[in-house]
Amino acid sequence: MTTTAIDWRWDDLADALAAGLRAAAADVELEQAVRGLDARSELELHPVLRGGLQAAGYGVAAEVRFPRDRVLRRRSEGVRCDMVVTPGGRPLADAADQLGLFAPADAVALVDAAWLEVKVVAQHNERGPNRAYASALQRPVWKDIAKLAADPHILHGAAVLVLFTADADVAEHDLGVWSSGASLRGLRLMPREQRSLAIGDRLGNRLCTVAVFPLERGPA
């Protein structure tokens, strides 16, 4: 196994995530599906996001245990991360270890991988305006960033927020409010990478925005 410093390009990851959503949105329209992307649950959208990353050449492991929880004896114990990304389709170092095999020479160390926590929030859902929209957009996503920041072995972490809104103004305003709230809570973030795509209006949402909020590491 080799351990090298990887310079993660969050803009490239945002492009890949958006491409996955764009392809899925196009399939929805082609099929004239009753349910759009904005009606899917967070877990239903995970494969879409993973597919976008894999199509861009990244390796993606799902539901990976946080590094700090690996002191726990049972593999079923501990908090898990939604997605862990590696460059060039390379395997994650512990993936082979879990199968009882030797890690391949090109495996990426946990500390070098990009750890992504995903949240999906829609302004409108199948019942109408989402009354829990504001609360779902704030505390759960802040909690994800805090969880990543609390693990000293995660050097490259980010919250990925997939937002379905009526228009771009709503998305821009609400992402700005979220960023300000995160700063007030002492969560250190790099500038976000944000991509948007139009979706068919089935519930009142006409725009899908994916925003990547990378964790800031290093001296304050």
**3 lies in a domain?**
no
**201 lies in a domain?**
yes
Residues of the chain with pLDDT under 70: 1-5, 69-78, 95-103, 218-220
Q: At what angle do helices 10-31 and 42-55 cross, to 10 degrees?
A: 120
Phi and psi torsions of 57, nearest 5°: 100, 5
- pLDDT of 79 reads 81
Q: CA-CA distance, 45 to 110, in Å (whole number)?
A: 24
Mind listing the pLDDT tens digit for each residue in 38-69?
A: 999 999 999 999 999 999 999 999 999 998 86
**162 lies in a domain?**
yes
**219 lies in a domain?**
no
**5 lies in a domain?**
no
Mind listing the pLDDT tens digit for each residue in 109-136?
A: 999 999 999 999 999 999 999 999 999 9
Pair 35, 202: CB distance under 8 Å: yes
**2 lies in a domain?**
no
**203 lies in a domain?**
yes
- pLDDT of 38 reads 97
**1 lies in a domain?**
no
Give the range of the structural domain holding residue 27, as residue numbers without chain letter: 10-214
- pLDDT of 174 reads 95
The pTM of the full predicted model, rounded to 2 decimals, is: 0.90
Number of domains forming the structure of the chain: 1
